[in-house]
Structure 1
Amino acid sequence: MKPNKSKQVWLVTCWEFMHFFKWKQELISKLIMIAIAAIVYFWQVVKHDDITIYQIALTSQNVVLQNAGQFTFEYVDNTSLSAFELLQQEESKYDAVIAMGSNNPSEQQQLILTVNDKQSWHSSLNTEVLNQYRQSIAQQLNLQPNQLALLQTPVAITQQYADQAIKSEDDVSDTIAIVMIVLMAVGIFTSFGQLFASITGEKQQRVTEQLYSCISAQSWIDGKILGQLLHAIKAMVTAGITGLLGYAFMSVVINDQSIDLTMIDWSFIPWLFIFSLLGIYISTAFIAAVAAAIDDPNHSAKTSMMLLPLVPVALVFMTMDDASGWAMSMLSFLPLTSFVAMPVKMSLIDVPLWHTLLSLLLGIALAAWLRSGAARMFKMGMTMYGKEPSVGMMFKWMIKEPK
């Protein structure tokens, strides 16, 4: 690429990216993400440093509980007051009241927990009471601790596959694959919306036609593709970080649990990034070529053609249940679908390295051909007014520039 041409491409890339980049919106969104991350961090620190002790009143002698962790249990011999009255007394020191629901040994035992309002520590209290109640019943039945543990331990079912390439369910493979498909759809939708508005608007205002005298169609389309590629990657990264922050918020603040990121295969991230770049490039080139052929965006039937890059996403989603099947294997090598199919397949089963490299090379070859074909369609489409080219004519332009 000549230096002059590279400067032109970079100029168009920067213009295309900054045209849709809003500093105020980006700053607000990033501040919100930082605020959520700060809430998760400080909530976790406060939870570990400040342990509240809760006083629990027991109104039945049949309920025997030992102090444990942040809970202290005390028997209250006051039958004249109900559980609600016991809690709502001005001098009450209790946070909860536990009573026996039924004293009939032939009936299922029931414990009634009365509290003032809903709090996150109630689930921990329920777990502690159930554990101690099980131990009490085990002592009455003369069960040893190991026998009780054996009864409480569910049977472990290990699923084996004749196909050794399939990854175990412990890898949360399905979740990773679905997340990848969603992120890819986010990138494609971002390119679709912005390119549709950009190219159709420029065509109606005849902006591109005036610039053809100083910038070639290839440089213009290269800059537009790269600019939208940066936007799509930004949208995918933002969506991924937002999802992680949402997961962290639900785990730490809502469920009072620690953050577990063991489900993420960090060695797979580089492959995901490479195929995402390739897929967004192919999709953006196709969308730009079709958008250039649209004369009236409000009535054109070709607008629906710009959504065709979402077809590979839908096909992979429908066939991902059989990652070793012929359908997924074909989609993972077909250049039009490999940018979605291959990374999804890699997240579900072990794929030979040469399969991955071959799929990547085929995709790069398609991207190179689409780059030149999109430039030809862009050049012809942006100079046609009043009449849109037919689909057959568009394919001819993709293959060879008319004389």
Structure 2
Amino acid sequence: MSSSGTTGLSRWQQVRRIATWEFNRFVKWRQQAIGIVVMIVVGTVSGSLTTLVKNARGKDVRVAVVNATTLGFALPTVEGVLWLPAAYDTEAAARAAVTADSVGGALIVRSAAAGDIVLRKRAAWTTNVERALTAARQAAQFATLPVPDSSKAMLLAPFSVKVSTATLANGGTDASTRLITGGILLFGLLVLFNGFASLFAGITGEKQQRITEQIIAIVSPQTWMDGKILGLASAAIAGTLLFTATGAVLAMVLPRVLGNSLFTLPALPSDLAPLLVVALVTLLGIVMWFSFMAAIAATIDDPNSSPRSAMLLIPVLPLGLAFTLIARPETPIAQLLSVFPLTSMAVLPVRLLLTSVPWWEPVLAVLLLAAATWLFRRAAGTIFAVGILMHGKEPTLAETWRWVRRAES
């Protein structure tokens, strides 16, 4: 990016050119296409192998049984287990056979209600054996009761319950709204994590390459930072949209190819207003967090060794709160967190999709998010203007705060 290409442009044109350059630097459409092909191949192979593993059946485990007659009922049929009730007469002999790996295990019957299973190493089939023995014992005892067979069948029959969800006021169902809520929260999380690595690399790159003086001579630090935030956030959104769209197509097409149950996208509600508000809040939240992380990145000398890189995990906290509040969207704490800028991106969608929200709550959340975005963006530009000139030493938090206070005053 040359000086002659930017000095004659307006500030917004400079921001747009920087943003376009950053976007194209991290979004390579050819590489994205190759990644999609690789994702399809890996998904197909993985799905095929999973199907083979589920349908695969190994040899039955040979289990010796000592004192089988003590049970008082026949050994139940257990999938994957082959009973050997007459193989060994004593517990010692059965244990020795297990130790020698002659059998896969031994069931030592102590009474009609208790027994021990001896193994060389723990195995999953023991749970199925315990359940089958319990059911067989209960059935044997139930059969001795002086009750007609018809009454026994009635007593054993489960209570039939058919679960369904009512159509909500927004035209959707509980299941669809929960899927949409989870999808929005997951999308926001993916955008942040996909973009933060590029954000740190993009902002600290000029500092490591010692080209800061040339950059500041071309554009103002605030313009440079605005362009980076806009371009890198757009690149993260585009990459995540492409990734999620490819994943959704695979989820719908791959089961049909493999002969498994199909996945269908949840139906959108007839009232799209809440979803439009959610989209706006999500977009503002992404830009806000990118502005916040840009301010942090401007203080970092080397992202590979700086302990401040751990601050990438900060946005995980509000997203974790949102998943917790899915079952409690009407609590006062949920209402507070839905308008607080650092958490509204994650919590407000939960309340909008799962409960009734007063009109002023989304309006307040959007206004506070916009204000926080503006403040973080100004702080990022101010910190960048001073911090980008420092090499070999990262400023302390107190120094960073003084820079911001001095610039605002």
Counterpart in the other structure of 2:20: 14
Secondary structure at the aligned position of 1:333 is classed as coil
User: Which residue of structure 1 aligns with residue 334 of structure 2?
Assistant: 328
Q: Which amino acid aligns with 2:292?
A: F
Q: Does the 8 Å contact 1:165/1:350 carry over to 2?
A: no
Paired position in structure 1 for 2:352: 346
Task: Specify the alignment match of 1:73 in structure 2.
Answer: none
Q: What corresponds to 1:318 in structure 2?
A: 324
Displacement after TM superposition at 1:379 (Å): 1.0
Q: Tell whether 2:184 aligns with 1:193.
A: no
Q: Indicate the residue corresponding to 1:99 in structure 2.
A: none
> Which residue number corresponds to residue 282 of structure 1?
288
Matches within 5 A, 1:362-401: 362-401=368-407
1:12: how far off? Answer: 0.7
* Count of aligned pairs: 296
Give the superposition deviation at 1:366: 0.9
The whole-number CA distance in structure 1 between the counterparts of 2:162 and 2:204 is 59
Q: Distance in 2 between matches of 1:402 and 1:386?
A: 27
Query: Residue 325 and residue 223 in structure 1: after superposition, are their counterparts in 2 closer, same or farther (change >3 A)?
Result: same
- Distance in 2 (alpha carbons) for counterparts of 1:276 and 1:176: 13
Cα distance, 1:207–1:190 mapped onto 2, change above 3 Å: farther
Amino acid at match of 2:364: L
Of 170, 187, 210 in structure 1, the residue corresponding to residue 174 of structure 2 is: 170
Residue of structure 1 aligned with 2:361, choices 341, 355, 375: 355
Greater shift after overlay, 381-390 or 313-322?
A: 313-322
Instruction: Provide the residue aligned with 2:315 in structure 1.
Output: 309
Normalised TM-score (structure 1):
0.63
Structure 1 residue 220 corresponds to structure 2 residue 224: yes
1:2-401 to 2 correspondences below 5 Å: 4-30=10-36, 154-157=160-163, 170-254=174-258, 260-265=264-269, 267=272, 268-401=274-407
Q: State the percentage of identical aligned residues.
A: 33
Paired residue secondary structure (1:156): coil
CA apart distance, 1:179? 2.0
Q: Distance in 2 between matches of 1:239 and 1:347?
A: 24
Shift of 1:380: 1.3
Q: Which amino acid aligns with 1:319?
A: L
Classify 1:152/1:309 alpha carbon distance in 2 versus 1 (closer, same or farther; 3 Å).
closer
Alpha-carbon distance between aligned partners in 1 of 2:41 and 2:407, rounded to the nearest angstrom: 53
Distance 2:256 2:359 in 1: 38
The alpha carbon displacement at 1:255 in A equals 5.1
2:187 and 2:266 map into 1 onto residues whose CA distance is 20
Distance of aligned partners of 1:287 and 1:264 in 2 relative to their CA distance in 1, 3 Å threshold: same
C-alpha contact (below 8 Å) 2:27/2:239 kept by paired residues: no
User: CA–CA distance in 2 between the matches of 1:319 and 1:167?
Assistant: 22
1:355 Cα offset (Å): 1.5
Unmatched segments (≥5 aa) in structure 1: 37-109, 111-150
Residue aligned with 1:175, SS = helix
RMSD over aligned Cα atoms: 3.8
In structure 2, the partner of 1:130 is none
Cα deviation 1:256-294 (Å, max 9, x = unaligned): 656643444472543332122111101111111111111
> For 1:273 and 1:159, how far apart are their aligned partners in 2?
26
C-alpha deviation, 1:157, in angstroms: 4.8
Deviations 1:193-237 (A, max 9, x none): 101112222111122332111200111011000101111211331
Any conservation in 1 of the 2:295–2:377 contact (CA below 8 Å)? Answer: no
Q: Is the 8 A contact 2:289 2:315 kept in 1?
A: yes
| 3-state SS of 1:401 partner | helix
Q: Deviations over 1:64-117 (max 9, x none)?
A: xxxxxxxxxxxxxxxxxxxxxxxxxxxxxxxxxxxxxxxxxxxxxx9xxxxxxx
Which amino acid in structure 1 is aligned with residue 186 of structure 2?
A: V
Counterpart amino acid of 1:195? L
CA contact 1:188–1:280 (8 Å) conserved in 2: yes
SS in 2 for 1:375: helix
Gapped runs of 5+ residues in structure 2?
1-7, 43-76, 78-156
Which deviations, in whole Å up to 9, do the C-alpha atoms of 1:289-311 show, x marking residues without a partner?
A: 11111113233221112332332
| Residues 155-196 of structure 1, C-alpha deviations (whole Å, 9 max, x = no match) | 335689xxx999986333333222222111111112211011
Deviation at 1:250, TM superposition (A): 4.9
Asked if 2 retains the 8 angstrom alpha-carbon contact of 1:323 and 1:349, the reply is yes
Query: What CA distance in whole angstroms lies between the structure 2 residues aligned with 1:306 and 1:189?
Result: 8
Whether the 8 Å contact between 2:172 and 2:268 is mirrored in structure 1 is no
| Aligned residue type for 1:394 | T
The letter for the 2-side match of 1:332 is: S
Secondary structure of the 1:212 match is helix
Q: 3-state DSSP class of the match of 1:337?
A: helix
Q: C-alpha displacement at 1:13, in angstroms?
A: 0.6
Which amino acid in 1 is paired with 2:232? Q
Query: What residue number does 1:120 align with?
Result: none
Which SS does the other structure have where 2:250 is aligned? helix
